[in-house]
Chain A
Amino acid sequence: NAGVTQTPKFQVLKTGQSMTLQCAQDMNHEYMSWYRQDPGMGLRLIHYSVGAGITDQGEVPNGYNVSRSTTEDFPLRLLSAAPSQTSVYFCASSYRGVRPDTQYFGPGTRLTVL
């Protein structure tokens, strides 16, 4: 199993540009999430999904869109990038089990918006 994969690893955007961060998992996990990590802020939940076709907002959803058309993929879209979105983005997935532990994280995407 590849686990949770994220592409690209690094990206530089100009203000106003759009892009999609890709996330895929091959563990047949129902739940998938996107987090951003900023210095002194820890990991903050952007959007999450409990299954294909179902998404919901997390703590910091503004400026980001998501969709979940398949169990495996959960892309994160930035429609008009802003410098405040410079961050490291992590995708995670987990089973719909009886305990909320063991979210599996991808290696991250480091995004810089100029």
Chain B
Amino acid sequence: DQQVKQNSPSLSVQEGRISILNCDYTNSMFDYFLWYKKYPAEGPTFLISISSIKDKNEDGRFTVFLNKSAKHLSLHIVPSQPGDSAVYFCAASSGGSGNTGKLIFGQGTTLQVKP
């Protein structure tokens, strides 16, 4: 059973517009959420994270929103740039305030930003 789900396999947006990537989870024990970005033939790289005690975290062009009641989080990229074209993975952890080293990933969403 997939505990973290990204239901949109792909997304295409125009350069300069907003990209919104969505992620749903089922395990109420998850208390830390992360987004990773992956280019072809490379390993994933950390992008942004959010603790369950917050509902929003912002880092430059990237903002993550968390709706705990809906068990839903989203990543907003504004403005989108062609270099943002990559696969984006949502991930979740249930380690409390500690790092367990275990992450549960979603299936990924391929973002294409068109010039």
Contact = CB atoms under 8 A, between A and B. Distances in A.
Interface of B: 4, 6, 9, 32, 34, 36, 41-46, 49, 51, 89, 91, 93, 95, 97-108
A95 B99 CA distance: 8
Secondary structure dominating the interface of B: loop
Given A58-B102, A98-B99, 20 more contacts: A31-B99, A32-B101, A33-B102, A40-B9, A41-B107, A42-B4, A43-B89, A43-B91, A45-B102, A49-B101, A50-B101, A90-B43, A95-B99, A97-B99, A98-B97, A99-B49, A100-B95, A100-B101, A100-B102, A105-B45
A103 B46 contact: yes
Interface of A: 4, 30-33, 35, 40-45, 48-50, 58-59, 90, 92, 94-108
A94 B101 contact: yes
A6 to B, nearest CB: 8
Contacts of A31: 99-101
A94 B104 contact: no
Given A42-B6, A100-B99, A105 B104 contact: no
Contacts, number: 84
Contacts of A105: 36, 43-45
A39 B69 CA distance: 30
6 contacts: A30-B101, A40-B107, A43-B108, A59-B104, A99-B32, A107-B41
A64 to B, nearest CB: 16
Nearest to B50: A101
